[in-house]
């Protein structure tokens, strides 16, 4: 049976969609909080989640055993999840992006309802452009 990670994550050894979702999520956490990990943990997690290397390939690249690679990935992943649980920054960023997209859509609808020469339309258009700029910096 695969080992379980801190918050119910099971890595490596899972297959299918859940593993892909786990990898994407943990890759995002690594982007946010990677600098807070020990250098070896960060390197092993990056090779595993971002470069898609196997445990054997990571072990060879880092000059450690497969067990050492797994331990670094497991500890690093647990630390990333713990940091996100405490800070919630990734969750808040996603939530802010959702709100900005909703606001952009609302502004687009309002802009369409205003007349062509309306000062209000120009103001709405300006606000929509600001929201679009914020969304671009988020990506």
**Mean residue pLDDT across the chain:** 85
Q: What is the DSSP letter of 2?
A: P
CA angle 54, 19, 23 (to 5 degrees): 70
Q: Each residue of 52-76: pLDDT tens digit?
A: 999 999 999 999 999 999 999 999 9
The pLDDT of 85-113, averaged and rounded, is: 88
Whether 5 contacts 70, CB under 8 Å: no
**Residue 35 gets which letter from DSSP?**
G
Distance CA 87, CA 11 (A): 23
SS3 content of the chain, % helix, strand, coil (to 5): 75, 0, 20
């Amino acid at each position: 049976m695969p080992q379980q990670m801190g918050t119910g994550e099971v890595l490596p050894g899972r297959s299918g969609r859940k593993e892909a979702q786990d990898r994407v999520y943990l890759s995002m956490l690594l982007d946010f909080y990677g600098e807070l990990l020990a250098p070896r943990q960060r390197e092993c997690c990056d090779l595993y989640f971002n470069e898609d290397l196997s445990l054997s390939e990571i072990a060879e690249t880092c000059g450690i055993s497969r067990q050492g690679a797994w331990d670094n990935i497991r500890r690093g992943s647990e630390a990333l999840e713990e940091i996100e649980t405490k800070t919630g920054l990734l969750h808040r960023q996603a939530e802010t992006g959702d709100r900005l997209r909703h606001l952009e859509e609302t502004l687009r609808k309002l802009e369409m309802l205003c007349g062509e020469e309306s000062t209000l339309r120009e103001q709405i258009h300006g606000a929509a452009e600001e929201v679009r700029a914020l969304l671009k910096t988020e990506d």
